[in-house]
Structure 1
Amino acid sequence: MSKQKITSFGEYIRGLREAEGLPLRKIAAQLDIDPSLLGKIERNERQPTKGQIKKIAEIFNQDESFLLSEILSDQIAYKILEEESDIDILKVAEEKVNYLKKKKNG
């Protein structure tokens, strides 16, 4: 599955699973979670833990940092939609991140 196509984290994971022809219950067992929880993750109704993301990366031979950035970008996108904010809020957030990095580093 191409990393260039824009999808949600859940859709991306479902696509990986389906591309390999693996049933939901098999991947859920490898993640040591209930299949219904994995289904909710794939439908973007629940967020996976960092530990689950790490296991998903291992199972599907994916870059863990890529998957972490995908889930974080989902969280940001959903928050902007939820608050009915303008996309310009991302510029403000970027400025704050830069400010906080400088402050943290000294």
Structure 2
Amino acid sequence: MATEFGIKVRQLREEGNLLQKQVADQIHVDIPIFRLCKIEKGPRKAQKDQVELFAKALEADSEELLTLCLVDHSFDVVAGERLDFKEIPLVSKHIKNHIDNNLKFANGL
């Protein structure tokens, strides 16, 4: 199953008329072309530290790509669980509180 990040990477690559090899070469990390293909098609997920490299190579918004990458990783955590989706708002609230607390700490409050 294709991931949100993989779909977006492929879309950006194709819009930029780039070959997978060109993107892999621009990333300058150990991402052989077969891994890039697997990232685009879904069996493999990009690592968080690779997102900025993808954004630069594809001239894309790094925040959007990071969001999609985190969505994919979050989905993996709950995939296969028996959820009725009442958990989603609770998780969202918990994440927002965590972010708010980190911002307060970073701003010295």
Q: Give the TM-score normalised by structure 1.
A: 0.75
Q: What value does the CA root-mean-square deviation take over the aligned residues?
A: 2.3
Query: Which residue of the partner structure matches residue 23 of structure 1?
Result: 19
Amino acid aligned to 1:31: I
State the aligned residue count: 100
Query: Which residue of the partner structure matches residue 43 of structure 2?
Result: 45
Give the distance between the partners of 1:20 and 1:98, measured in 2 at CA: 35
Give the distance between the partners of 1:49 and 1:90, measured in 2 at CA: 24
Give the distance between the partners of 2:19 and 2:43, measured in 1 at CA: 19
Instruction: Report if aligned partners of 1:80, 1:86 keep a CA contact under 8 Å in 2.
Output: no
| Alpha-carbon spacing, 1:78–1:20, altered in 2? closer, same or farther (3 Å) | same
Q: CA deviation at 1:24?
A: 1.1
Provide structure 1 residue ranges, at least 5 long, that are not aligned to the other structure: 1-6
Give the distance between the partners of 2:99 and 2:26, measured in 1 at CA: 37
Give the distance between the partners of 2:75 and 2:18, measured in 1 at CA: 29
Return structure 1 stretches of 4+ with deviation > 3 angstroms. Answer: 98-106
| Alpha-carbon spacing, 1:99–1:22, altered in 2? closer, same or farther (3 Å) | closer
Query: Which residue of the partner structure matches residue 75 of structure 2?
Result: 77
Query: Which residue of the partner structure matches residue 3 of structure 1?
Result: none
Give the distance between the partners of 1:57 and 1:102, measured in 2 at CA: 26
Give the distance between the partners of 2:99 and 2:24, measured in 1 at CA: 37
Instruction: Report if aligned partners of 1:8, 1:70 keep a CA contact under 8 Å in 2.
Output: yes
Identity, in percent, stands at 26
| Alpha-carbon spacing, 1:27–1:98, altered in 2? closer, same or farther (3 Å) | closer
